[in-house]
Amino acid sequence: MNIIDRRLNPQGKSLANRQRFLRRAKEQVVKAVRDASGKRGIQDIENGEKVTISAGGVREPSFHRASSGGVRDYVVPGNKEYVEGDTIQRPDGGGGGRGSEGSPDGDGEDDFRFVLSREEFLDIFLEDLELPDLVKQKVKQSESHSLTRAGYSVSGSPANLNLVRTMRNSLSRRMALRRPKPAEIQELEEMLREAEEAGEDATQIQALREQLEHIVLRSKRIPFIDPIDVRYNRFESVPKPIAQAVMFCLMDVSGSMTEHMKDLAKRFFMLLFLFLKRRYRSVDIVFIRHTHEAKEVDEETFFYSAETGGTVVSTALEEMQKVVRERYPAEEWNIYAAQASDGDNMSSDNAKSVTLLRDAILPLCQYFAYIEVAAEHNMGLSALGRETELWRTYKQVQSPERPLAMRRVRSRREIFPVFRELFAREKATA
Amino acid sequence: MSVVITKPDTLLYDGVDWDYDKVKRVYDAIEHVALKEMGLDVYPNQIEVITAEQMLDAYSSIGMPLMYKHWSFGKHFARDEMLYRKGYRGLAYEIVINSSPCISYIMEENTMTMQTLVIAHAAFGHNHFFKNNQLFQQWTDAEGILDYLEFAKTFISQCEERYGHAAVERVLDAAHALMNQGVHKYPKKRSLDLRLEQKRERERQEYQDQTFNDLWRTVPKPAAGARPPKSVSERKKLLGLPEENILYFLEKKAPRLEHWQRELLRIVRHIAQYFYPQKQTKVMNEGCATYVHYQIMNRLHETGRISEGAFLEFLHSHTSVVFQPEFDDKRFSGINPYALGFAMMQDIVRIAEKPTDEDRQWFPDLAGRGDGMAAVRDAWANYRDESFILQYLSPHLMRKLKMFSVRDDAEDPYLLVDHIHNERGYRSIRKMLARQYDLGFLEPDIQIVDVDLAGDRKLILHHRVTNGVLLDESDAKAVLRHIANLWGYEVQLVEVSSISEAILKEHAVTAPSGVGG
């Protein structure tokens, strides 16, 4: 008998099968993931998710008999009262006194349920999205530097001496110039000593001695390591894109913002957070809410606590500017901002907001997304195309070279499409 | 007053934790009981310790330690994993592979008693059955299977690289759908040698490579209609029709398949064939293993080799394994093969050793022959589920399980109790139960009956309908689509009543576009 411990064998043997399965069920999984993402909180959206897909695309058909029709006989155990000729009411589903019918392994036509890992979930969730091109340029400009190995050089500091290269050069030079090896010198000395001890011919001894002198001199003339052998590791400083980002969530929390609108805003923020999280090693979030005055708050307060007051948008922009100045210098951070509002603003504040946005905020930001949320039932007004105060205001700033995007969202359904629209990978960027 | 319980020093192990020494000791003790006292005959054993995750892995690839890659295994894994993680379902304690050496998996989290039970059950019970049952001897090649699977896995991954995942998947999907229609049900002249299979495939490939000549492509094709049309019966004879092994037929005769596609079909067919005996011997195989572990554990207990506590633990899992809910219980899901198998084995021993008058009348050869163990060994060697039940199910057991038969005619509003466990019903019930285990009856009888290769090449299949039960329509359609993908031309399935030869239903699938070579 053999006992073999297989516990340490490579894990995840079925990974390849799983990938094949996901590829196969792609369409349905994508749909399931998009549905599931609607029900999640902002921070925990990236955990794995149990998804349910219809069994259609991953059905494994086989020839088998239909579960109804025809004449069937069954033998079952546990008779209590029946005698031959008794009749039994047909149970629901047409089967006899049998539970095994239907599907033998519990799968059949039902929906198929399984758990997606966090990675798989996000991969599918954020498929085809890309940070806009203009952001990439920005990233390049705001670089930090790091040293990277870049070949060898003949000069450098002793700490960077590359011993292997140096010795290799030294060896080839010594071979090329036929520097006598220590062993050769030793051998010659040995021969000389033997000859002297044996009292051999003086001329022969003399010849040996001259030969020895010659090679010793030669080995002195050709150094073991010459300055031309020496090589140093060379380092080059390479620009490195900044791998951290901060995301500002700005939201109007004045009375006119309904729960529905806040919910829409939350969903958008959630998507943006997720998306940034995939691209940057660390992502900070700053929540700034405003009425007629702005305040930095935590997430809970941001979304759930009510506030009364007027609406002055510029206060939020000022607050953001302040936070950036204090904690997130633009040279070190990629700054993204998303503002959600119902479009109200005090008329007297419009000019100030425009100036702030154009001259202070946008130059700092990689991307500034303005989402205007509207009540779902309020179709008529918006359909008429009446632009809100803030929309009109921001529109003045919008231009192709400014990283400002504006979208209107009315219902939950539109959140994801709008998000995708904003970040869709540009097809012709090859 | 205190009672001092002294542990007898004959104990093989004590406590729950297991280690390799204990496993070794237990194995030796079990081996002694199994081979010397019970007269079992087994392949050499290989016991492998695995984790729960590896157990799930093994589950999803139909229990084999190595398997080619296919999405359906990923699907099963995803489902099993979720059921397991959410606690809906436990894992099997063991998996055993019909190979030589016989590989049994044991899980690391099992207790020592469970390991003992698993070794007795799998490494001796199933192992004996695999080695001695005539079906397994005839149909499977225990020595070659692991090597063959290795070959299959490499071959398929090479195909994936060369022809792309999608192309391979397409063939495998179709082959999997036809797995049940991919076995030879009647013995061939030559027994299966899987090692030879690999060699053959290699040689064929080499021969093709060596003799490749592009000129063949340019040879003019014979003019259409040059050959005289053959009669239908002659045509069928040439193609070996009718043929119930659909995979085999497609592999050999499908006009538009490439060499590698045929080889894929062949691989799936071999694997289906390998599992065919297991499908036919569920009751016997489990009955044998359960009976063996029950005997061994009892013997170990009698001789004081395992403690009372361990024995109780064993009894607990044993009884839950052989539990048979009654038909009106909500846990009922058909007859439990462990329960039926175990009960029948015990019954055979009883009949052989302590028969009643009734037994003497029903089993004149078996009753009172003594040596019950030899009697069950005979049964294990020579029967499959259907014939086993037909031969050995006794009135005693039918009464004990209170079996009765029900007739479900879709045209009647009620179900009819046909027979019960009484003098008039024994034979019918036994016959009916045996039929429930007859694969030839359980699986629809589908055959390829005709194709005109010189004409439109439409493949015609017949399903001979018994008792008016038709095929599940949407699945049948899907499988036909798969067949059409392999065949390359139109496929038609006709459901014919086996009594009146009347056509009950027809399904047809048109030729796929752009398939084949």
pTM of the model: 0.70
Q: Are residues A304 and A351 in the same domain?
A: yes
Mean pLDDT of A153-171: 91
Q: Does residue A141 register a pLDDT over 90?
A: no
Q: Does residue B81 register a pLDDT over 60?
A: yes
Q: Is residue B48 packed enough to be buried (19+ CB in 10 Å), middle (13-18) or exposed (0-12)?
A: buried
- Identify all chain A residues contacting B424, using CB atoms and an 8 Å cutoff: 84
Element (H, E) at B301: helix B282-302
Q: Are residues A254 and A216 in the same domain?
A: no
Residue finishing a domain among A209, A234, A259: A234
CA distance B394 to chain A (A): 14
- Identify all chain B residues contacting A76, using CB atoms and an 8 Å cutoff: 327, 332, 335, 403-406
Interface of A with B in 65-104 (CB under 8 A): 65-80, 82-90, 94-100
- Identify all chain A residues contacting B335, using CB atoms and an 8 Å cutoff: 75-77
Rounded Cα distance between B422 and A373, Å, is 77
CA distances from B211 to B64, B203, B206, B388 (A): 37, 12, 9, 52
Residue A19 CB coordination number (10 Å): 15
For residue A66, is it within any domain? no
Rounded Cα distance between B517 and B262, Å, is 12
Interface of A with B in 103-122 (CB under 8 A): 107, 112-115
For residue A90, is it within any domain? no
- Identify all chain A residues contacting B31, using CB atoms and an 8 Å cutoff: 1
Instruction: Tell me the one-letter amino acid at B246.
Output: I
Domain ranges across chain B: 20-133+281-309, 322-441, 444-509
For residue A58, is it within any domain? no
- Identify all chain A residues contacting B469, using CB atoms and an 8 Å cutoff: 65-66, 69-72
- For chains A and B, what is the number of CB pairs under 8 angstroms? 272
Choice among A92-106, A143-157, A326-340, B106-120 with the minimum mean pLDDT: A92-106
Q: Cα dihedral sign for B238, B242, B245, B251? A: positive
- Identify all chain B residues contacting A115, using CB atoms and an 8 Å cutoff: 78, 81-82, 85
> Residue for token digits 């629809």?
B444
Structural domain total, chain A: 3
What pLDDT is recorded for position A329?
A: 80
Exposure class string for B137-152: b at 16+ Cβ within 10 A, else e = eebbbbebbbebbebb
Structural domain of A41: 24-53+112-125
What pLDDT is recorded for position B13?
A: 84
For residue A430, is it within any domain? no
Instruction: Tell me the one-letter amino acid at A182.
Output: P
Label residue A136 by pLDDT band (50, 70, 90): very low
Q: Cα dihedral sign for B380, B383, B386, B388? A: negative
Peptide bond into B242 cis (omega under 30): yes
A75 strand-pairing partners: B405
SS (H, E, C) B170-194: HHHHHHHHCHHHCCCCCCCCCCCCH
Q: Do A7 and B75 touch (CB under 8 A)?
A: no
What pLDDT is recorded for position A376?
A: 65
Exposure class string for B418-446: b at 16+ Cβ within 10 A, else e = bbbbeeebbebbbbbbbbbbbeeeebbeb
What pLDDT is recorded for position B513?
A: 66
Instruction: For chain B, give the number of residues.
Output: 517
For residue A8, give the chain B residue with the closest CA. Answer: B50
Q: Does residue B481 register a pLDDT over 60?
A: yes
Q: What is the DSSP letter of B243?
A: B
Q: Does residue B164 register a pLDDT over 80?
A: yes
Q: Are residues A168 and A34 in the same domain?
A: no
Label residue B227 by pLDDT band (50, 70, 90): low
CA distances from A194 to A191, A209, A210, A211 (A): 5, 12, 16, 15
* Region label for B243, one of left (φ > 0), alpha (ψ between -120 and 50) or beta (otherwise): beta
SS (H, E, C) chain A: CEEEECCCCCCCCCHHHHHHHHHHCHHHHHHHHHHHHCCCCCCHHHCCEEEEECCHHHCCCCCCECCCCCEEEEEECCCCCCCCCCEEECCCCCCCCCCCCCCCCCCCCCCEEEEECHHHHHHHHCCCECCCHHHHHHHHHCCEEEEEEEEEECCCCHHHECHHHHHHHHHHHHHHCCCCCHHHHHHHHHHHHHHHHHCCCHHHHHHHHHHHHHHHHHHHHCCCCCHHHCCEEEEEEEEECCCEEEEEEEEECCCCCCHHHHHHHHHHHHHHHHHHHHHCCEEEEEEEEECCCEEEECHHHHHHCCCCCCCCHHHHHHHHHHHHHHHCCCCCCEEEEEEEECCCCCHHHHHHHHHHHHHHHHHHCCEEEEEEECCCCCHHHHHCCCCCHHHHHHHHHCCCCCCEEEEEECCHHHHHHHHHHHHECCCCCC
Q: Do A78 and B401 touch (CB under 8 A)?
A: yes
A250 strand-pairing partners: A288, A339
Rounded Cα distance between B269 and B241, Å, is 18
| Between residues B204 and B324, the one the model is more confident about | B324
For residue A360, is it within any domain? yes
Residue finishing a domain among A125, A149, A173: A125
For residue A45, is it within any domain? yes
Label residue B99 by pLDDT band (50, 70, 90): confident
Q: Does residue A92 register a pLDDT over 80?
A: no
Could you tell me if A159 lies within 8 Å of chain B, comparing CB atoms? no
Residue finishing a domain among A194, A209, A234: A234
**Beta strands A2-5 and B94-97, pairing class:** unpaired
Rounded Cα distance between A166 and A164, Å, is 5
Mean pLDDT of B273-288: 89
Residue A195 CB coordination number (10 Å): 17
Tell me: the pLDDT tens digits for B368-400? 888 889 999 999 999 989 999 999 999 999 999
Rounded Cα distance between A55 and A53, Å, is 6
Query: Distance between alpha carbon B365 and the CA centroid of its chain, in Å?
Result: 31
| Average pLDDT over all residues of chain B | 85
- By Cβ distance, the residue of A7, A69, A113 closest to B469 is A69
Q: Are residues A245 and A165 in the same domain?
A: no
* Region label for B404, one of left (φ > 0), alpha (ψ between -120 and 50) or beta (otherwise): beta
For residue A13, is it within any domain? no
B415 strand-pairing partners: A88
Q: What is the DSSP letter of B99?
A: S
Q: Are residues A246 and A375 in the same domain?
A: yes
- Identify all chain B residues contacting A3, using CB atoms and an 8 Å cutoff: 20, 23-24, 47-49
Question: B492, B461 in Cβ contact below 8 A?
Answer: yes
Label residue A104 by pLDDT band (50, 70, 90): very low
Q: Are residues A323 and A279 in the same domain?
A: yes
Q: Does residue B18 register a pLDDT over 70?
A: yes
Interface test with A, best of B55, B62, B71 (most A CBs within 10 A): B71
Q: Are residues A199 and A281 in the same domain?
A: no
Say which residues have a Cβ less than 8 Å from residue A203's Cβ, sequence separation at least 6. none
Q: Do B57 and A13 touch (CB under 8 A)?
A: yes
| Between residues A289 and A34, the one the model is more confident about | A289
Element (H, E) at B408: strand B404-409
Rounded Cα distance between A206 and A208, Å, is 5
For residue A74, is it within any domain? no
Tell me: the pLDDT tens digits for A208-265? 888 889 989 988 888 898 888 999 998 887 766 666 778 888 888 877 777 778 878 8
Q: Are residues A267 and A400 in the same domain?
A: yes
Identify the top-confidence range among A337-341, A378-382, A422-426, B150-154. Answer: B150-154
Q: Are residues A223 and A302 in the same domain?
A: no
Expressed in percent and rounded to 5, the helix, strand and coil fractions of chain B are 55, 10, 35
Q: Are residues A223 and A311 in the same domain?
A: no
Residue A300 CB coordination number (10 Å): 9
B506 strand-pairing partners: B494
Tell me: the pLDDT tens digits for A307-341? 777 788 888 888 888 888 888 887 777 788 888 88
